[in-house]
Amino acid sequence: MANFFVDTNVFLRFLTNDDPAKAKRAETLLLRAATGVSQNHDCAPVEMWMI
């Protein structure tokens, strides 16, 4: 299983779909994690700082 660090921007691209090409790439990455092909990690303190 591949491990990836995923920046918050990837989640935002997926949710906002502001750039369709990048949103599709983000969706692919998230689907790989959902199906167990990869494991994605983010930095929780960053999300807390943004909130």
Q: Assess contact for 11 and 22: CB atoms under 8 A.
A: no
User: The domain containing residue 19 runs over which residues?
Assistant: 2-50
Quick one: CA dihedral 35, 44, 13, 10, positive or negative? negative
Q: Say what the pTM is.
A: 0.69
pLDDT of 21-47, one tens digit each? 999 999 998 898 888 887 777 766 655
Q: Point out the least confidently predicted range of 3-7, 14-18, 31-35.
A: 3-7
Structural domain count of the chain: 1
